[in-house]
Amino acid sequence: MSADAITFGYLDDQTKRMIRRALLKAVAIPGYQVPFAGREMPLPYGWGTGGIQVTASIIGRDDVLKVIDQGADDTTNAVSIRRFFRRVTGVAATEKTAEATLIQTRHRIPETPLTTGQILIYQVPIPEPLRSMEPRETETRKMHALADYGVMHVKLYEDIARHGRIATAYDYPVRVNGRHVMAPSPIPKFDNPKMHNAPFLQLFGAGREKRLYAIPPYTSVVSLDFEDHPFEVQRWDRVCDLCGAGDSYLDEVVTDDTGGRLFVCSDSEYCTTRRDAGHRGPAADSTAAGALGATLSAVARDRTEDRA
Amino acid sequence: MYVAVKGGEAAIDAAHRQMAAARRGDPAVPPLTVAQIRAQMGFAVARVMAEGALYDPDLAALALKQAWGDVAEAIFLLRAYRTTLPRLAASEPVDTAHMVVRRRVSAAFKDLPGGQVLGPTFDYTHRLLDFALAAEGQASEAAPAAPDDGRAPDAPMPRVADILGGEGLIEPETAPADEATAPVPDLTRDPLTYPADRATRLQALARGDEGFLLSLAYSTQRGHGGTHPFAGEIRVGEVAVEIVPEDLGFPVVIGDITVCECQMINQFTGSRTAPPQFTRGYGLTLGYNERKAMAMALVDRALRHRELDEAATAPAQDEEFVLSHADVVEASGFVQHLKLPHYVDFQAELDLVRRLRRAAAEGVSHDAPEGAPEDAPHNTSAETTP
């Protein structure tokens, strides 16, 4: 099938309309999971088909698209999804968080704060925050309808009883607009506070489970906790080894088989921008950091050629 | 040993080139043609059409070629292609009583109107490798002309269930009143919700993974939700597909498709509202997929426990369990998505496990508020749960 034979955005107009209608409903009821007739996409389920369908339904010719996975623009699945949209829409792609109008993400919210008018589209594997406690859809829909979230609090309490702390590090449940408990998708809880009263629109797509949900701008998003065990985010007692950032989520990179480690920003664009601006981390001059930096630069070069 | 951690586009391109070369294999061996696959790998083509939910033997054969013979991958290709197609019409119900039958067997009656027609089947073959087939270019023996059995080719072949129905021994197959006039549900246009009606369940099963349904069906035979089935009838052949164009107002035939239908007849001792009679399990597949059609019929029957007032104790009777996990494209995608990077979440887990281990080593009591120095309280809202 040649690219010409495919509609703009791959989906036919009826499908796009159906998804947009579902998105409007999702925006109207923040955090509520709206069932939608998800289609099979040419990428596998579990690899971002929900986010892809949302993006495909709202993208326009003037949009500028950024795709990240694990915070990085150059992870293979992000590359693959960006390529897919370049192929079926031809819209401009960017790595610059500030330049993007649409950002499709898996597992992270960019470090650079998003602003009014930007849309963040999350890929969601399991949209149901209660699923691990109650496998039945018939039951969980009832629980949401009655705002009966006791099982979630019991689960968090059991964590505290057993471990002394809430042992959920990602996909940490939130309550949206004071009503629906929602799965933020497997972002680290580090990113949860960025969702609260955010000036940008947040859309969530779960393709395999066929659910959409949304957080409109300036909506309250509160991570569940207890008065004596308040919600906490991850903090590191170190900074990014490459750019020296002390406020970003760090990925641990194993550099050799003798225990060598680097901690670097998971948000590759944030890290690169800081390094370009002259910021240097403690291990910026090490061999491993040099090799890592060289790979990143080579990848950036590749992508520039791709855009040309 | 230095571990390379990043790199995307070039690696993907190289992988695709390797894949293309590997798929083609030894260039000294002539490539398979789509026509060869369609003609000589018919069961694979049929399975790809059935689970791909698209009747097109040429595209199914192409998908198999492109997928390097990986059936699940070929199904996925066909499903993704299906997404680009508009839905133009809903057909009239196909009438399998008027099927041009190639095969028809009943395990319930020794003989019956229309007779038993064995047709092309692996049944009763001895599964001995035929080394003659390995000899290249050997002219295959021409199919023998069908022996004259005295039966006119278009002789009526009533369905076994209809024969039993005449005596009232089997439940009538009529849509519930509220569904009779409603448009047929379309799983590809309305997401699956629970509880699902039977039409929706059958659609999901018809697209479902053969292996999964086979195992579930097998489990019902081994005591996990037993339904005491008899293969009332299995028939394979061609049926006409009709649609009613809006501007015509009467049905026109748009083509013939091959289908395989299985009607299981199941024991039923009656309930508070229904007299003892036989009940049905139904299986239908695009293409000749007999194993799948039989498994589907058993699972369909198991899933009908609610309307028949039977106890649901087994996995095969659990609608959400069965339907939510039957789709091979969904299952394959989600299982294999574990290959995708999970650095960020793993980092979060790593951090948590290290902290829990540290706390355990230091013998910190769970009762004390521990507040590790790295943790920063973050909720500013008053919404906390006491």
DSSP per position, B56-100: -HHHHHHHHHHTTT-HHHHHHHHHHHHHTS-----PPPP-GGG-E
Nearest residue of A to residue B88, measured between CA atoms? A14
**CA pair distance B176, B229, nearest whole angstrom:** 23
Report residue B238 as tokens.
């061609």
Which residues of B fall within a CB distance of 8 Å from A225? 379, 384-385
pLDDT at position B160: 85
pLDDT at residue B383 above 50? no
Tell if the CB–CB gap between A37 and B366 is shorter than 8 Å: no
Percentage of chain A beyond pLDDT 90 is 75
Model confidence band, residue A290 (pLDDT cutoffs 50, 70, 90): confident
Tell if the CB–CB gap between B324 and A256 is shorter than 8 Å: no
pLDDT at position A75: 85
pLDDT at position B116: 87
Residue of higher predicted confidence among A202 and A293 = A202
pLDDT at position B278: 87
pLDDT at residue B108 above 80? yes
Nearest residue of A to residue B12, measured between CA atoms? A76
Write out the catalytic residue numbers of A. Answer: 31, 240, 243, 265, 271
Residue of higher predicted confidence among B186 and B271 = B186
Tell if the CB–CB gap between A233 and B352 is shorter than 8 Å: no
Nearest residue of A to residue B82, measured between CA atoms? A40
CB B119 within 8 A of CB B103: yes
- Residue to substitute from A7, A45, A75, A177, interface B, most B β-carbons within 10 A: A45
At B256, phi and psi to the nearest 5?
A: -110, 145
Lowest-pLDDT range of A67-81, A144-158, B138-152, B166-180: B138-152
Nearest residue of B to residue A171, measured between CA atoms? B345
Window 296-325 of B, Cβ < 8 Å to A: 320, 324
Tell if the CB–CB gap between B189 and A37 is shorter than 8 Å: yes
Model confidence band, residue A288 (pLDDT cutoffs 50, 70, 90): confident
pLDDT at position A164: 86
State the average pLDDT for chain B: 86
pLDDT at residue A283 above 50? yes
Window 136-165 of B, Cβ < 8 Å to A: none
pLDDT at position B179: 62
Q: Over range B37-53, report the average pLDDT.
A: 97
pLDDT tens sequence across B276-314: 888 999 999 999 999 999 999 999 999 999 988 888 999
Tell if the CB–CB gap between A36 and B11 is shorter than 8 Å: no
**CA pair distance A136, B321, nearest whole angstrom:** 8
Tell if the CB–CB gap between A79 and B189 is shorter than 8 Å: no
Tell if the CB–CB gap between B378 and A223 is shorter than 8 Å: yes
Report residue A103 as tokens.
């950002």
Q: What share of chain B is helix, strand, coil (3-state, %, to 5)?
A: 40, 15, 45
pLDDT at residue A256 above 50? yes
Of A78, A137, A162, the CB nearest to B194: A137
Of B83, B320, B355, the CB nearest to A40: B83
Q: Beta strand pairing status for B279-286 and A174-176? A: unpaired
* End-to-end Cα distance, chain A: 24
Q: Any CB–CB contact under 8 A between B354 and chain A?
A: no
Q: Any CB–CB contact under 8 A between B363 and chain A?
A: no
Lowest-pLDDT range of B84-98, B317-331, B367-381: B367-381
Tell if the CB–CB gap between A188 and B381 is shorter than 8 Å: no
pLDDT at position A240: 95
Interface A:B, Cβ pairs < 8 A: 230
pLDDT at position B369: 43
Report which DSSP code applies to A74: S
Report residue B88 as tokens.
């133009």
Nearest residue of A to residue B354, measured between CA atoms? A167
Q: Any CB–CB contact under 8 A between B17 and chain A?
A: no
Residue for token digits 């039409």?
B199
pLDDT at position B25: 92
**CA pair distance B226, B266, nearest whole angstrom:** 10
CA distance B218 to chain A (A): 24
**CA pair distance A187, A189, nearest whole angstrom:** 6
Query: What does the DSSP assignment read for A249-299?
Result: -EEEEE-STTS-EEEEES-HHHHHHHHHTT---TTTTSHHHHHHHHHHHHH
The answer, yes or no, to whether ipTM is higher than 0.90 is no
Tell if the CB–CB gap between A169 and B345 is shorter than 8 Å: yes
Model confidence band, residue B55 (pLDDT cutoffs 50, 70, 90): very high
Residue of higher predicted confidence among A2 and B235 = B235
CA distance B194 to chain A (A): 6
Model confidence band, residue B372 (pLDDT cutoffs 50, 70, 90): very low
Report residue B101 as tokens.
């039958």
Contact residues for B80 (Cβ-Cβ < 8 A; gap 6+): A40, A41, A42
Nearest to A263 by CA among A232, A284, A294, A233: A284
Q: Where are the domains of chain A?
A: 3-223, 250-307
Tell if the CB–CB gap between A225 and B340 is shorter than 8 Å: no
Report residue A102 as tokens.
């649409």
The CATH-assigned architecture of domain A3-223 is 3-Layer(aba) Sandwich (3.40)
**CA pair distance B92, B245, nearest whole angstrom:** 11
pLDDT at residue A246 above 60? yes
Q: Any CB–CB contact under 8 A between B81 and chain A?
A: yes
Q: Any CB–CB contact under 8 A between B10 and chain A?
A: yes
The stretches of B67-197 forming alpha helices (DSSP H) are 71-83, 160-166, 177-180
Tell if the CB–CB gap between A74 and B7 is shorter than 8 Å: yes
Residue of higher predicted confidence among B43 and B340 = B43
Report residue A146 as tokens.
């009655």
pLDDT at position B5: 40
Tell if the CB–CB gap between A226 and B384 is shorter than 8 Å: yes
* Burial zone of B194 (CB within 10 Å; 0-12 exposed, 13-18 middle, 19+ buried): middle
Contact residues for A277 (Cβ-Cβ < 8 A; gap 6+): none
Nearest residue of B to residue A88, measured between CA atoms? B84
Tell if the CB–CB gap between B347 and A160 is shorter than 8 Å: no
**CA pair distance B198, B298, nearest whole angstrom:** 14
Nearest residue of A to residue B189, measured between CA atoms? A37
Window 332-351 of B, Cβ < 8 Å to A: 332-337, 340-345, 347-351
User: How many Cα atoms sit within 13 Å of B283 on the Cβ side?
Assistant: 33
pLDDT at position B284: 97
CA distance A127 to chain B (A): 14
Model confidence band, residue B86 (pLDDT cutoffs 50, 70, 90): confident
Which residues of B fall within a CB distance of 8 Å from A227? 384-386
Residue of higher predicted confidence among A301 and A205 = A205
pLDDT at position B130: 87
Which residues of B fall within a CB distance of 8 Å from A14? 86
The helix or strand, by DSSP H or E, that contains position B360, with its residue range, turns out to be: helix B343-361
Of B4, B8, B345, the CB nearest to A76: B8
